[in-house]
């Protein structure tokens, strides 16, 4: 599973985690928010929506992370 974010809003650190301007950190096991809240992410938490694009290496779909109500794109 791959997620796509605009690079100006996220910085990657050596561990591969993405830091969103100190507001949230996305890592292999989930998301940690600056408020102290955290979420483990797994496929059961996503609602798949329409296809956004298709290429040689997979299909990109719009998804909704149900616990946070955040829409994002996922390569499946």
| Tens digits of residue pLDDT in 60-69 | 999 998 888 8
State the total domains in the chain: 1
Q: pLDDT at position 6, please?
A: 47
Pick from 18, 36, 22: which is nearest to 72 by CA? Answer: 18
For residue 45, the enclosing domain spans 2-75
The gap between the terminal CA atoms of the chain, to the nearest Å, is 6
Give the tens place of pLDDT for each residue, 6-62.
444 555 556 667 777 778 887 777 788 888 887 677 888 899 999 999 989 899 999
- Residue 58: DSSP 8-state: E
């Amino acid at each position: 599973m791959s997620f796509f974010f605009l690079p100006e809003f996220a910085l990657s650190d050596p561990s591969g985690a993405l830091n969103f301007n100190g507001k949230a950190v996305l890592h292999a096991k989930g998301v940690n928010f600056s408020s102290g809240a955290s979420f483990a992410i797994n496929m059961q938490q996503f609602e798949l929506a329409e296809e956004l694009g298709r290429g040689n290496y997979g299909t990109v779909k719009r998804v909704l992370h149900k616990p946070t109500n955040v829409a994002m794109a996922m390569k499946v």
